[in-house]
């Protein structure tokens, strides 16, 4: 069980002296559900508030990084939200016109400004555009291609971490590997095999189970990382960091090494997961209005799906009274509530 023990350098053992890794335990797979957040078996829900004080001992501070979430704490912008027209209407990609019409009508009954007030204007406009786009055969074909590419590249932010939680309920620290700077040396997977594994796509380390090993072992793994890319982060920021990490470009390990030796300049800040997380929050905070995003012509169908539209949908959805959201989008509202606990 994790404790706040200070790490003793004398405890360092060579990774090869440790028992063989048990091998990666895959994180729960994402499976899309009908128009709601992807159905992921979540880690056990923490009993403590996500806002509980974070206690860092001196050893933690060397490895600690955080996302500047001042804007998120004001407006709940780090909540899971629908990200595209299908999720907004709560339907599958293969929904027929009857299903689209039925979903649109029932949601407009909830979100129309005459019922829900001025705050729902943006959401009502987006519902109109979703309906116009998805019931227009040509526009839908173009939009579907864009949505599939967007989901593959970015996807929806569900608010649930990818790694499983094995730590104590009140623990506010989590572990995060910045895979953009990891050089795949395997020190961490040898040292703490119940916490880290090597993912296959890029050959970088990743956390499969938070606190899968004792704290002393985890500190040892962090101290043995030659590029200091294993961080303690706030547990409440973990889901966001793991989400944006999916979109970060992994440079060839030889290039990462050359950058470290000063031969290739520094990596673009836009590829740093902490910077990307802050951009994600700022984008939601400063999302374009529904009119700006969809154009003035209410009959114009939209064929693009990108981060700006995703942020606009999120912003418009969050502007609506939570009771109405729970009525029209129960699975997303439930996901938002779970992410807060
Ligand atoms: S020790 Fe660091 S560089 Fe090596 S695989 Fe683990 S995270 Fe990557």
Distances (CA, A) of 123 to 13, 133, 140, 147, 154: 57, 15, 20, 19, 22
The confidence band for 38, taking pLDDT boundaries of 50, 70 and 90, is: low
Q: Are strands 196-198 and 205-207 parallel, antiparallel or unpaired?
A: antiparallel
Ligand 1 centroid to Cα of residue 193, in Å, is 12
Q: Are residues 65 and 196 in the same domain?
A: yes
Query: What residues are in contact with ligand 1 under a 6 Å CB criterion?
Result: 177, 182-188, 205, 225-227, 229-230
Provide the mean pLDDT of the chain.
Answer: 81
Measure 25 CA to ligand 1 centroid, in angstroms. 18
pLDDT given for residue 299 in this prediction? 56
Task: Fill in the DSSP letter of residue 200.
Answer: T
Which residue has better confidence, 202 or 241?
241
Please check whether residues 91 and 218 belong to one and the same domain: no
Domain membership of residue 265 as a residue range: 51-73+159-281
Domain-embedded: residue 229: yes
CATH number, domain of 174, equals 3.30.70.20
- Give per-residue burial for 210-248: e unless 16+ CB within 10 Å, then b: bbbbbbbbbbbbbbbbeeebbbbbbbbbbbbbbbbbeeb
Q: Ligand 1 centroid to 175 CA: how many Å? A: 13
Tokens 């623990």 — which residue?
A: 171
User: Considering its fold, how many domains does the chain have in total?
Assistant: 2
Candidate of 21, 187, 195 to mutate for ligand 1, largest count of ligand atoms within 8 Å of Cβ: 187
Lowest mean pLDDT among 44-48, 80-84, 116-120, 317-321: 44-48
Q: Which pLDDT does position 19 carry in this prediction? A: 36
- Please indicate, yes or no, if residue 31 is contained in any of the structural domains: no
Ligand 1 atom with the smallest distance to the CA of 185 is 4
- Same structural domain, 246 and 174: yes
Q: Is the pLDDT of residue 335 over 90?
A: no
Residue 336 and residue 277 in one domain: no
What is the C-alpha separation between 94 and 159, in angstroms, rounded?
A: 25
Query: Quick check: 33 pLDDT over 50?
Result: no
Q: Which of 51-55, 122-126, 169-173 has the lowest mean pLDDT?
A: 51-55
Classify residue 59: in a domain, yes or no.
yes
Tokens 């790694």 belong to residue: 163
The protein residue with its alpha carbon nearest to ligand 1, atom 2, reads 225
Confidence at 294, pLDDT banded by 50, 70, 90:
confident
Say if 33 falls within a structural domain.
Answer: no
Q: What is the predicted pLDDT for the residue at 158?
A: 87
At residue 70, the pLDDT reads 65
């Amino acid at each position: 069980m994790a404790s706040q023990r200070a790490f003793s350098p004398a405890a360092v053992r060579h990774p090869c002296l440790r028992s063989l890794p048990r091998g990666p335990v895959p994180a729960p797979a994402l499976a899309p559900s009908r128009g709601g957040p992807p159905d992921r078996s979540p880690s056990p829900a923490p009993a403590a508030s996500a806002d509980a004080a974070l206690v860092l001992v001196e050893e933690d501070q060397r490895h600690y990084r955080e996302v500047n979430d001042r804007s998120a704490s004001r407006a709940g912008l780090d909540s899971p939200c629908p990200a595209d027209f299908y999720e907004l209407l709560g339907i599958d990609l293969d929904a027929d016109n009857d299903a689209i019409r039925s979903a649109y009508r029932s949601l407009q009954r909830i979100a129309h400004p005459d019922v829900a007030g001025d705050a729902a204007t943006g959401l009502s406009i987006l519902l109109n555009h979703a309906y116009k786009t998805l019931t227009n055969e040509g526009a839908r074909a173009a939009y579907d291609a864009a949505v599939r590419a967007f989901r593959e590249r970015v996807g929806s932010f569900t608010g649930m971490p990818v790694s499983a939680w094995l730590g104590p309920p009140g623990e506010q620290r989590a572990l995060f590997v910045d895979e953009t700077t990891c050089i795949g040396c395997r020190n961490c997977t040898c040292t703490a095999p119940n916490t880290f594994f090597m993912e296959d796509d890029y050959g970088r380390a990743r956390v499969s189970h938070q606190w899968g090993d004792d704290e002393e072992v985890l500190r040892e793994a962090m101290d043995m990382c030659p590029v200091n890319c294993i961080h303690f982060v706030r547990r409440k920021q973990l889901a966001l960091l793991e989400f944006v990490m999916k979109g970060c470009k992994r440079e060839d390990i030889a290039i990462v090494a050359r950058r470290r030796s000063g031969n290739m300049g520094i990596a673009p800040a836009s590829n740093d997961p902490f910077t990307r997380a802050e951009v994600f929050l700022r984008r939601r905070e400063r999302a374009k209005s529904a009119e700006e995003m969809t154009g003035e012509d209410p009959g114009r169908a939209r064929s693009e799906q990108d981060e700006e539209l995703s942020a606009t949908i999120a912003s418009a959805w969050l502007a609506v009274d939570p009771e109405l959201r729970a009525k029209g989008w129960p699975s997303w509202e439930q996901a938002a509530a779970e992410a807060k606990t």
